[in-house]
């Protein structure tokens, strides 16, 4: 399957494809969560996925690193197709960083150990080197002084920043964000969004599920609007907010803006 | 300067007074009951106290480290009770190990997606925990009792595995003459291993990749075990060394040790008081002490003073006993080494039969009597069903997000379990697991139902003979309290070590 299939209504840039989804379908029992999703994400592109709750946004990005298994269709990540091949799955997972709504830090490990666990055990890095990288990342997300603390001792915003650092420590090519600010107090949302903004500036390929419209407008290259398991509309940020094509998109935007 | 409340309204004072009042009331009640009972016993011509313990037992025990009285080895009452305690501890220890293994296995199977494993485990748990333990023990007793009588060709595998009315016997592996020399040699070999491991671990941290920490350790251990197996007589000289240690120890006058004990108790109390003072120190440098702190310090000092007086002045026997035991321990160890001793550290033996019974325990395979077996089986199957649920609950208590986060980092399933899920599950499992260990230990007393010679059964025989009910029960209580508190202490220490830092 060609990974650069042109798609006239996606407003897609001519960059190399990092993620390719073709006709992805997913059922939970009788309920169909994804009804044939087509999506391309290019290198260094930031794609924000919008939509009401239950529309399949989270399911889609969880399928991209196979935390959920899609039943039909094709997902390719960096040219590797996601199948039941264990080696492919672990390779893709170690190259795709994921940030969760509820942080999911390991509570029994210190902040530093949380960040170095993956590099040491998956990447087989030396501890000294992994810790050096971890400290640099903590510096970057602005909380180097918390390295020795445990997750339970940090605020929500700090925990989410550690979670981002943990994902970055694996040197991923793609970062997936599953509603990273939904569990945070308003004053903590800003500090997390700052870190993500910085990431986008450095050219990270990102897929973000969020409800932060201002942030989406500012950072996204393209916006994807999903409803009941389908992609309703894809467009550049400009066009999406000023001239949405679909009726359903207009309705959603009018409710939310 | 804040105003001190008057003493009858001071919470700290009232709290401590109330605690003392409760303590003294309870002790007083006990004393009252005990003296009342004592008086009644005396009226019936039964002497008070524990002097009967050194008298002859005049009865036989079903099984244990000593069962009969003989001229060279007297079976006193205290010895009989000790045999009972050893039997209890034996069942409890083996039961704890086996039910943990079985329980973990069943608990994990119950979580498995494999249909057969899952259903089998569920059926096991639901059956075992819904039948009273006593019924289960009696059930095993009836089943084992209905087996074929013991004969020369008893099977299933004659000479190797024997299952019969008289019990179950398998080949026994035991520590032979060279064992202590063997262990001593391994200890000597362990020192370089420690250095090698430290160097390798540092290299692992510095360089990454695979520096073969585990494989080197395994290789080193196998080689040193092999060497020690054949060369252990070299360590025979330790016998002489230990004997001279024993002589040197016995040369120390008991008064000095007694004095040291007194000093140690006072020093310990001092250290506690000092650490309390330190913990109350504020950054400004002033120790802010509450009334509660004062009470605690006074109480510690008072208790230490009493303890020191008891050890040094009123009960000099405690120290003498300690000195003698330690001396005996050194000579006991010394006797385990010797130049003329055989080199084999471990030996094995098959079950041997004479005249339709298993011969004496030291000359045969590992034999379980039906009494022991039925108690053990009952305890293991019953308790493992609870342990299975504890394990299952502990693993389920780790949120799904944890394993998802680990998988998202590219961990394999094995790494995810080892590094993320099990460390967290273990913290949840440990406290209720400790409870189950306590239950096994206490439930061994049901052995009385099948006539197994554990402490309660032996004690009953004792008080049926001499009517020393009160004294025997006080021994029961002290023994079980000691067991339970030891287990709790171990479990609590582990819990404290593992606790997750929350704030």
Dump pLDDT digits (tens) for B443-462.
Answer: 999 999 998 989 999 999 99
CA distance A16 to chain B (A): 24
Residue partners of B489: CB distance under 8 A and separation at least 6: none
pLDDT at site B287: 67
In this predicted structure, the answer to whether residue A87 has a pLDDT above a threshold of 80 is no
- A interface with B, Cβ–Cβ below 8 Å: 65, 67, 90-91, 93-98, 100, 102, 104-108, 117-118, 120-122, 124-130, 149-150, 152-153, 163, 166-167, 170
pLDDT computed for residue B339 by the predictor: 60
Tell me how far apart the alpha carbons of residues A186 and A183 are, in angstroms, rounded to a whole number.
Answer: 9
With beta carbons less than 8 A apart as the criterion, state whether A47 and A224 touch: yes
Report the pLDDT value the prediction gives residue B35, as an integer from 0 to 100. Answer: 85
- By C-alpha distance, the chain A residue nearest B406 is A118
The confidence score (pLDDT) of residue B229 equals 82
Cross-chain residue pair A108–B424, CB shorter than 8 Å: yes
For residue B85, what pLDDT is reported?
A: 93
Q: What is the DSSP string of B218-274?
A: HHHHHHHHHHHHHHGGGGGGHHHHHHHHHHHHHHS-HHHHHHHHHHHHHHHHHHHHH
Question: Å from B497 to nearest chain A CA?
Answer: 12
**How much is the pLDDT for A11?**
47
Q: Which residue has the higher pLDDT, B67 or B340?
A: B67
Q: How far is B210 from chain A (nearest CA, A)?
A: 8
CA pair distance B440, B491, nearest whole angstrom: 15
- Is the CB of A129 less than 8 angstroms away from the CB of B209? no
The whole-angstrom distance between A205's CA and the closest CA on chain B is 17
Task: Determine the Cα–Cα distance for residues B311 and B259; give it in Å rounded to an integer.
Answer: 9
A100 and B401 within 8 Å at the Cβ level: the answer is: yes
CA of B197, closest CA in chain A: separation in Å?
16
Model confidence at A49: pLDDT above 90? yes
CB contact under 8 A, B207 and A94: no
Q: What's the mean pLDDT in A17-33?
A: 90
User: What mean pLDDT value characterizes chain B?
Assistant: 85
Task: Report the share of chain B in percent with pLDDT over 90.
Answer: 34
Whole-angstrom distance, CA of residue B350 vs CA of residue B415: 42
CA distance A72 to chain B (A): 22
| Confidence at residue A7, expressed as pLDDT on a 0 to 100 scale | 44
CA distance A95 to A97: 6
Closest CA to B386 of B22, B107, B96: B107
- Residue found by looking up tokens 């059922």 in the block: A27
Q: Which of B306-320, B326-340, B391-405 has the lowest mean pLDDT?
A: B326-340
At residue A2 the predicted structure's pLDDT band, cuts being 50, 70 and 90, is very low
CB contact (8 A) between residue A108 and residue B423: yes
Q: What percent of chain A has pLDDT over 70?
A: 94
Minimum mean pLDDT among A90-104, A181-195, B194-208, B345-359: which range? B345-359
Confidence label for A5 from pLDDT (cuts 50, 70 and 90): very low
The whole-angstrom distance between residue A5's C-alpha and the CA centroid of its chain comes to 22
State mean pLDDT over B212-240. Answer: 84
Chain A residues within an 8 Å CB radius of B412: 90
- Taking phi first (over 0 means left), then psi (-120 to 50 degrees means alpha), and beta for anything else, what does residue B225 get? alpha
Q: How confident is the model at residue B279 (pLDDT cuts 50, 70, 90)?
A: confident
The three-state secondary structure class of B368 is strand
Summarize the confidence of residues B15-32 as an average pLDDT: 89
Query: Across residues B68-92, what is the average pLDDT?
Result: 88
Q: CA angle at residue A172 from A171 to A175, to 5 degrees?
A: 135
List Cα–Cα distances, A180 to A98, B375, B409, in angstroms.
10, 56, 17
User: Would you state the pLDDT for residue B425?
Assistant: 92
The span from the CA of A222 to the CA of B378, in Å, is: 67
For chain B, give every domain's residue range. Answer: 7-48, 55-141+367-498, 179-346
Q: Distance from A85 to chain B by nearest Cα, in Å?
A: 13
Least confident of B33-42, B151-160, B300-309: B151-160
Cβ B177 vs Cβ B344: under 8 Å: yes
Look at residue B192 and give its three-state secondary structure. Answer: helix
How many Cβ pairs within 8 Å bridge chains A and B?
A: 88
Angle between helix A156-168 and helix A111-121 axes, rounded to 10 deg = 20
Residue closest to B487 by CA, chosen among B432, B425, B445, B437: B437
Could you tell me where the DSSP H helices lie in chain A? Answer: 57-64, 86-95, 111-121, 127-140, 156-168, 186-201, 213-219, 237-242, 247-256
Q: Taking Cα atoms as reference points, which of A254, A220, A229 lies closest to residue A246?
A: A254
CB contact under 8 A, A126 and B401: no
| Backbone CA torsion sign across A99, A100, A103, A108 | negative
Radius of gyration over alpha carbons of chain B, in Å?
A: 29
Please judge whether A125 and B208 are an interchain contact, meaning their C-beta atoms are less than 8 angstroms apart: yes
CB contact under 8 A, A108 and B415: no
How many whole angstroms separate alpha carbon A219 and alpha carbon A196? 9
Residues belonging to chain B = 503
Residue B360: what pLDDT? 52
Of A98, A128, A149, the CB nearest to B206: A128
Contacts of A127 in chain B (CB under 8 A): 204-206, 208
User: Which among A65, A82, A93, A104 is the top mutation candidate for probing chain B, defined by the most B β-carbons within 10 Å of its own β-carbon?
Assistant: A104
Asked if B501 lies within 8 A of A153 by C-beta distance, the reply is yes
- Nearest 5°: CA angle at B281, between B278 and B283? 135
Helix B469-498 to helix B11-43 angle (10° resolution) is: 150
B2 CB contacts (<8 Å, ≥6 apart)? Answer: none
The radius of gyration of chain A's CA atoms, rounded to the nearest angstrom, is 18
Percent of all residues in chain B with a pLDDT value above 70, rounded to a whole number: 93
Amino acid A13: pLDDT: 52
Q: Which of A90, A154, A169 to mutate to test the interface with B (most CBs of B within 10 A)?
A: A90
- Which among B209, B401, B500 has CB closest to A108? B500
Q: In angstroms, what separates the C-alpha of A138 from chain B's closest C-alpha?
A: 18
Which residue, chain included where needed, has tokens 């016998």?
A: B239
The confidence band for A162, taking pLDDT boundaries of 50, 70 and 90, is very high
Residue B331, pLDDT score: 86
- The region of weakest confidence among A7-21, A201-215, B80-94, B105-119 is A7-21
CB B234 within 8 A of CB B228: no
Residue of A40, A51, A45 whose CA lies nearest to A75: A40
Helix, strand or coil, per DSSP, at residue A24: strand
Give the distance from CA B209 to its chain's centroid.
Answer: 41
Please give the pLDDT value at position B448: 92
How far is the C-alpha of B446 from the C-alpha of B453, rounded, in Å?
Answer: 11
Model confidence pLDDT, tens digit, residues B163-222:
877 778 888 887 777 788 888 888 988 898 899 888 888 888 887 777 788 888 899 899
Contact indicator for B81, B59 with CB cutoff of 8 Å: no
Find, among B441, B454, B369, the residue nearest to B92 by Cα: B441
Asked whether the beta carbons of residue A93 and residue B502 sit closer than 8 angstroms, the reply is no
| CA separation for the pair B351, B359 (Å, rounded) | 9
Contact B502 A97 (CB under 8 A): no
Secondary element (H or E) of residue B204: helix B179-207
Is B501 in Cβ contact with A127 (below 8 Å)? no
B201, B404, B410, B416: which to substitute to probe chain A, counting the most A Cβ within 10 Å? Answer: B410
Query: Which helix (H) or strand (E) element contains residue B106?
Result: helix B77-111
Residue B501: closest C-alpha in chain A: A150
The superfamily (CATH) of domain B55-141+367-498 is MetI-like (1.10.3720.10)
SS3 letters across B296-334: HHHHHHHHHHHHHHHHHHHCHHHHHHHHHHHHHHHHHHH
Cα distances from B258 to residues B112, B264, B267, B318, B329, in angstroms, run 60, 10, 14, 9, 19
Q: Which residues of B touch A97 (CB under 8 A)?
A: 408
Q: Give pTM, 2 decimals.
A: 0.75
Torsion, Cα B388 B393 B394 B397, to 10 degrees, reads: 160
Condensed to tens digits (0 to 9), the pLDDT of residues B409-422 reads 989 888 898 899 98
Q: Which residues on neighbouring strands pair with residue B174, listed in sequence order?
A: B347
- Pick B2 or B183 by higher pLDDT: B183
Cis amide linkage into residue A37, ω under 30° from 0: no
**B→A interface, C-beta within 8 Å:** 204-210, 399, 401-402, 404-412, 415, 419-420, 423-424, 427, 500-503
């Amino acid at each position: 399957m060609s990974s650069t299939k042109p798609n006239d209504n996606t407003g897609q840039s001519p960059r190399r494809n990092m993620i390719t989804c073709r006709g992805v379908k997913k059922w939970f029992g009788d309920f169909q969560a994804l009804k044939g999703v087509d999506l391309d994400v290019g290198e260094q592109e930031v794609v924000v996925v919008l939509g009401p709750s239950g529309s399949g946004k989270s399911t889609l990005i969880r399928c991209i690193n196979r935390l959920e298994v899609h039943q039909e269709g094709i997902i390719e990540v960096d040219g590797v197709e996601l199948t039941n091949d264990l080696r492919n799955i672990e390779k893709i997972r170690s190259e795709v960083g994921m940030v969760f709504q509820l942080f999911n830090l390991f509570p029994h490990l210190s902040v530093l150990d949380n960040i170095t666990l993956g590099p040491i055990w998956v990447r087989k890095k030396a501890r000294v080197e992994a810790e050096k990288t971890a400290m640099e990342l903590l510096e970057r997300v602005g909380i180097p002084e918390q390295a020795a603390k445990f997750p339970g001792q940090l605020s929500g915003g700090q925990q989410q920043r550690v979670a981002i650092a943990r994902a970055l420590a694996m040197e991923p090519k793609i970062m997936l964000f599953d509603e990273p600010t939904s569990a945070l107090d308003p004053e903590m949302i800003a500090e997390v969004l700052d870190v993500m903004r910085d990431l986008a500036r450095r050219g990270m390929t990102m897929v973000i599920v969020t409800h932060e419209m201002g942030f989406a407008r500012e950072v996204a290259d393209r916006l994807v609007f999903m409803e009941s398991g389908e992609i309703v509309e894809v467009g550049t940020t400009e066009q999406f907010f000023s001239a949405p094509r679909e009726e359903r998109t207009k309705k959603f935007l009018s409710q939310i803006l | 300067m804040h105003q001190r409340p008057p003493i009858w309204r001071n919470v700290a004072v009232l709290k401590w007074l109330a605690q003392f009042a409760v303590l003294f009331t309870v002790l007083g009640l006990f004393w009252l009951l005990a003296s009342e009972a004592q008086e009644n016993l005396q009226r019936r011509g039964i002497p008070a106290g524990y002097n009967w313990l050194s008298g002859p037992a005049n009865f036989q025990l079903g099984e244990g480290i000593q069962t009969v009285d003989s001229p060279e080895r007297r079976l006193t009452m205290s010895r009989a009770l000790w045999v009972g305690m050893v039997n209890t501890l034996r069942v409890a220890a083996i039961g704890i190990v086996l039910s943990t293994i079985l329980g973990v296995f069943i608990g994990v199977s119950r979580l498995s997606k494999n249909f057969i494993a899952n259903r089998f485990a569920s059926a096991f748990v639901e059956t075992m925990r819904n039948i009273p333990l006593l019924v289960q023990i009696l059930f095993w007793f009836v089943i084992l009792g209905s087996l074929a009588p013991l004969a020369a060709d008893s099977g299933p595998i004659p000479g190797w595995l024997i299952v019969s009315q008289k019990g179950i016997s398998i080949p026994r592996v035991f520590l032979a003459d060279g064992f202590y020399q063997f262990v001593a040699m391994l200890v000597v070999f362990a020192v370089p291993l420690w250095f090698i491991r430290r160097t390798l671990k540092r290299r692992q941290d510095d360089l990454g990749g695979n520096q073969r920490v585990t494989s080197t350790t395994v290789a080193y251990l196998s080689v040193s075990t092999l060497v020690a197996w054949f060369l252990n007589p070299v360590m025979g000289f330790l016998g002489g060394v230990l004997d001279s240690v024993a002589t040197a120890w016995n040369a120390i006058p008991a008064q000095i040790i007694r004095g040291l004990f007194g000093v140690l108790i006072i020093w310990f109390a001092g250290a506690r008081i000092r650490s309390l003072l330190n913990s109350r120190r504020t950054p400004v440098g002033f120790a802010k002490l509450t009334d509660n702190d004062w009470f605690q310090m006074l109480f510690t000092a008072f208790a230490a003073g009493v303890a020191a007086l008891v050890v040094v002045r009123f009960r000099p026997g405690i120290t003498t006993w300690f000195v003698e035991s330690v001396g005996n321990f050194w000579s006991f160890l010394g006797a385990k080494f010797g130049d003329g001793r055989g080199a084999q550290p471990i030996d094995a033996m098959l079950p041997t039969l004479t005249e339709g019974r298993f011969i004496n325990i030291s000359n045969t395979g590992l034999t379980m009597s039906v009494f022991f077996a039925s108690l053990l089986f009952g305890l293991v199957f019953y308790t493992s069903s609870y342990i299975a649920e504890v394990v299952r609950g502990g693993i389920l208590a780790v949120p799904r997000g944890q394993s998802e986060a680990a998988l998202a980092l590219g961990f394999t399933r094995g790494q995810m379990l080892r590094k993320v899920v099990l460390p967290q599950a273990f913290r949840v499992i440990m406290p209720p697991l400790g409870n189950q260990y306590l239950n096994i230990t206490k439930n061994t007393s049901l052995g009385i139902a099948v006539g197994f010679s554990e402490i309660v059964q032996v004690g009953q025989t004792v008080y049926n003979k001499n009517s020393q009910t009160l004294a025997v029960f006080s021994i029961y209580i002290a023994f079980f309290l000691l067991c339970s508190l030891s287990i709790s202490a171990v479990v609590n220490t582990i819990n404290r070590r593992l606790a997750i830092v929350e704030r």
